[in-house]
Amino acid sequence: MSAQRFKRIMLKVGGESMIGDREYGIDPGAALKVAEQIKLIYAEHIQIAVVIGGGNIFRGVAGSKQGIDRATADYIGMMATVMNGLTLQDALEKIGVPTRLQSALQMPAVAENFIRRKAIRHMEKGRVVILGAGTGVPYVTTDTGASLHALELHCDVLMKATKVNGIYDKDPMTNSDAKRFKTLTFKDAIEMDDVNVMDTGALAMSKENNMPLMVFELFNGDNLIKAVKGEDIGTYVSNDVQTVLASE
């Protein structure tokens, strides 16, 4: 792992990273912290695409459980991701990182339409590309959208930033004896009942198309830059590894 280095990455960031100390919504200070982490790898000339969730504003599944039509709820959630994308774009450009926001829903006043070749060209020119509105269709999570975009943009890896440093054999937030996986096969990630890292659709898509996944804690020192360089942090999920627990 230490010799591996990724040149083009898809970074999936949860909407919760934008909350900061608030109960919900957007904290500009929290957005700036995310931007500063991204700038660290931008400075290493890594090509970066970002998919950000919208859970800090609205979750489609939760909305549908409260009586909103599921498709309508998902569209609301997509628009929430564009709001987060605009905030992150503003934070990145404030610290000198050129950025383009593309949306799978047409919102020409605030974002470019998502065009695959254009997104690739932006990255080749040294711009961070933020992808909002998921896939543009309901019943699909932002995790699945991140997996899909990682494939179509020819990324080397899908990196998911979470609250904990990797994937554990049980919920580490409620189980003090939870053990972290160093590496994990996609097969085990899908089939293990206590492993909840991404939805099954996203994992299956990555598995079928050999898109490796790294799961790590974003706000833990220089974890992001270490992950990009392929160092042993978090959990690396692939068809080409064995399931191994970390020694820590």
Give pTM, 2 decimals: 0.93
Give the chain's domain count: 1
247 found inside a domain: no
CA 168/CA 221 separation, integer angstroms: 20
Q: Residue 102 is inside which H or E element, if any?
A: strand 99-103
Give me the chain's average pLDDT, please: 91
CA 5/CA 46 separation, integer angstroms: 10
172 found inside a domain: no
186 found inside a domain: no
139 found inside a domain: yes
44 found inside a domain: yes
Q: Residue 28 is inside which H or E element, if any?
A: helix 28-42
Q: What are the residue ranges in the chain where pLDDT is below 50?
A: 1-4
Give residue-wise pLDDT tens across range 54-87: 999 987 777 777 889 999 999 999 999 999 999 9
Amino acid at 54: G
Check residue 1 and give its pLDDT: 44
Domain that holds residue 82: 8-158+198-228
152 found inside a domain: yes
CA angle 166, 169, 175 (to 5 degrees): 95
192 found inside a domain: no
Check residue 248 and give its pLDDT: 56
240 found inside a domain: no
**Which CATH number does the domain housing residue 16 bear?**
3.40.1160.10
Check residue 227 and give its pLDDT: 83
Check residue 29 and give its pLDDT: 95
Which of 125, 17, 148, 134 is closest to 78 using CA atoms? Answer: 134
Check residue 191 and give its pLDDT: 92
Check residue 185 and give its pLDDT: 96
